[in-house]
Homo-oligomer: A and B are copies of this chain.
Amino acid sequence: MKVTINDVAAQAGVSIKTVSRVINNEPSVRPATRKKVMEAVEALNYQPNLAARNLAGSRSYTIAFIYDNPNAYYVIDMQNGILEACKARGYELLIHPSNSKSATVHDELRNLVEHSKVAGLVLTPPFSETQTVIETVKSLNVDYVRIVSAAAAHDDEENCIQVDDSAAAYDITRHLLQLGHKRIGFLCGGEEHVSTHGRLDGYRRAMADAGLPIEEDLILKGEYSFDSGVTGAKTLLQSANPPTAIFASNDEMAAGALFAARLMHIEIPEQLSIVGFEDSPFSRQTWPKLTTAHQPNNEIAKCAAALVLSKARSKGATENGKAHKEAGIVREFTPELVVRDSSGPAPE
């Protein structure tokens, strides 16, 4: 029923240590021996006991996923991606919701790393972009990968999976410009998100490249929430000279903007274009369906997890500091424009 390393060793006619070497991909095993062992492993469907590995070994077979993003879709997508990567490599995942604003973040992380002996950390925004968090994980001497908006990588690219918000926002803005819009309102996300600044930057660049003036009155602060989308859109639409299009920094805000427009009896997209960002499921569940930028969260997370695992494993296996770049790990993503029904030609 329960097959241990001893069974495999017996079946292959070698010592358990040799089996251990094979399953851990250690050197100094003759190809013939390796093959014998592999066959035994296959035949018995042996799977190493994680608890024993964790206990005996110096490294652990668990990574942690840390997040403090309230967006359920985002978190689930990320989590599933990470889970896939873990499963593929026989690792376990520790889920750790947190709060980057909490004063005890440092102790919390330290405790997590030291007590649970995790092999690595995957961090998502805004947690991954918070200065105190970054400093803490660096000081903790643990492998980690931060999923961040491009600008937040700083000089830590090797530990980051970057999302180029600026480029994507540039594309979205250009889409609106090509539809003839000249006055485009911009609803910012929360200040603490680096993506907020990246998206705004993309907007500014696109406007500038089109030779259009940037009216600061059209740029409003917000916080990636439905309510802030409502408020922001109302403000823009009630102004003396309202914009013909609104670029909301995420789908939730865009849904809020849609809501506000509905309240004010403004037809979308005839009288006003609204675009979002992220392509979360409900960008297809609004009326009209949202034009947005597709962010492949699942894929991003998979790469992040694969990267942190490759770090953790290479450290264990080979001491020589080979760069050991694993194939198939993309380190930079640019969300792609998805045109749906909430954007149309500028009125008049």
Contacts and interface: CB of A to CB of B under 8 A. Distances in A.
For the complex formed by this chain, how many copies does it contain in all? 2
A74 to B, nearest CB: 8
Given A97-B80, A97-B83, A263 B287 contact: yes
Interface in A18-32: none
Nearest to A225: B285
A80 B83 CA distance: 17
A286 to B, nearest CB: 8
A77 B97 CA distance: 12
A242 B210 CA distance: 51
A259 interface: yes
Size class of the contact patch on chain A: 35 or more
Contacts of A63: none
Chain A interface mostly: helix
A259 B285 contact: yes
A262 B265 CA distance: 12
A49 interface: yes
Interface in A314-342: none
Contact of A1 (B1, B83, B114): B114
A88 interface: no
A343 to B, nearest CB: 17
Interface of A: 1-2, 47, 49-52, 54-55, 60, 72-73, 75-77, 79-80, 83, 92-95, 97, 114-117, 226, 252, 255-256, 258-259, 262-263, 281-282, 284-287
22 contacts: A2-B114, A50-B51, A51-B51, A51-B60, A52-B55, A55-B55, A72-B72, A72-B73, A72-B77, A76-B76, A83-B97, A92-B94, A95-B95, A226-B284, A226-B285, A252-B285, A255-B282, A255-B285, A256-B285, A259-B285, A259-B286, A259-B287
